[in-house]
Structure 1
Amino acid sequence: MKFRLQCLLAAVACANCLSANAALGTSPTYTATVRASATQAVMRMSATAVPYTVNEATLADGTLVREYVGQSGTVFAVSWHGPHMPDLSALLGSYFAGYLETVNQQHAQQGSAFGPATVQRSDVVVQTGGHMGSYVGRAWLPTGLPAGMSSDDIQ
């Protein structure tokens, strides 16, 4: 079962011609963009200081990837939605191995290697879902969220 999941993830990564390069805990990949909902969330937290920026990119396959960048200049969260699942190894970076290990354990317990996954670890939280042609997900570093921000702000 573990092998099937790894094959599935490898196939998704290969099928996604232009994969996302925004990795958690690293420098941003995309240029900052203004997004109304992020701006509103920031204004609720502070009238003068902006604790993070949101960079957006639409991949060649139509999937929208957002990276949330803190004042330190590192990505503390990513989200995605679109017709294809992005390359999670690229999005999660060094956190991918721990995510994959936890997902494999969950699927072994459930007896299925498919379906949505929620991984909640002390170092990273990853939520994936959707169905063929409409995938969604988000991931964040719990200790990386700026003060006053909650995981609900990652969309």
Structure 2
Amino acid sequence: MSIRLIRALVPAALAVATTLGVAPPARAALGGAPMATPSGAVAKTVSPVARAASSTNASSVSVSANYTVKETTSSSGTVVREYVGTDGNVFGITWRGPFMPDLSALLGTYFPQYKSAVEAQRSQRKGRGPVAVEQSGLVVHSLGHMGAFFGQAYLPAALPSGVSADDIR
């Protein structure tokens, strides 16, 4: 099945799913406010993952209070984590689960930039494979196969003080 055909069928499938009472995929927009929790999904705020400090004391741990993490699990089992700065805007997103989330919704206004980078990358190589977009204003890593998708997207310039790309996981 071609990508064009799949893209053409997605809106119709979402309309049917909504009619049948199945929740649409989670929606968030990188650089904007966190998503509203979709019907049938479960959302919670989780503590940022602690990182070991760079000292020799292995028990030293530092946690940044410069952001919160909102984790939303859709009814399909896909988990989206939004990294939200103190300004209320999402600076990073991760996903994992049996279904690929709608990247146009997750990336918001950054989606055209991502799409152009992916098209340029794919024109340089044959076949499919992991996607790695690493630009000064946008970083996206995405990989997986049917039933197991993983990814990360963040805005390097929007990372809060003391937060690194390694914190977005």
Deviations 1:45-67 (A, max 9, x none): 55xxx100000100121100000
Change (3 A) 1:91 1:39: same
Partners of 1:91 and 1:81 in 2: CA distance: 13
- Contact (CA 8 Å) 1:78, 1:138: kept in 2 or not? yes
Are 1:40 and 2:50 counterparts? Answer: yes
Structure 1: tracts of 5 or more residues without a match: none
Partners of 2:83 and 2:44 in 1: CA distance: 9
- Contact (CA 8 Å) 2:49, 2:167: kept in 1 or not? no
Deviation of the 1:8 alpha carbon: 4.8
Change (3 A) 1:14 1:150: farther
Letter in 2 for 1:51: N
Tell me how many residue pairs correspond in the alignment.
Answer: 146
Q: Which has the larger Rg?
A: 2
| Higher helix fraction (1 or 2) | 1
Are 1:89 and 2:101 counterparts? Answer: no
Q: Looking at both structures, which has the greater relative contact order when contacts are Cα pairs under 8 Å and sequence separation is at least 6?
A: 1
Structure 2: tracts of 5 or more residues without a match: 18-23, 38-42, 52-60
- Contact (CA 8 Å) 1:12, 1:87: kept in 2 or not? no
**TM-score (norm. length: structure 2):** 0.76
- Contact (CA 8 Å) 1:85, 1:135: kept in 2 or not? yes
Partners of 2:114 and 2:4 in 1: CA distance: 12
Equivalent in 10, 19, 22 of residue 25 of structure 2: 19
Alignment of 1:36-75 (within 5 A): 38-41=48-51, 44-45=62-63, 50-75=65-90
Letter in 2 for 1:137: G
**TM-score (norm. length: structure 1):** 0.83
Are 1:126 and 2:144 counterparts? Answer: no
Are 1:110 and 2:128 counterparts? Answer: no
Q: Could you tell which deviates more after superposition, 4-13 or 121-130? A: 4-13
Partners of 2:104 and 2:33 in 1: CA distance: 16
Partners of 1:19 and 1:139 in 2: CA distance: 17
Deviations 1:36-93 (A, max 9, x none): xx1524x6155xxx10000010012110000000011100000000000000000000
Aligned-pair identity in percent equals: 46
Change (3 A) 1:144 1:6: farther
Partners of 1:138 and 1:10 in 2: CA distance: 25
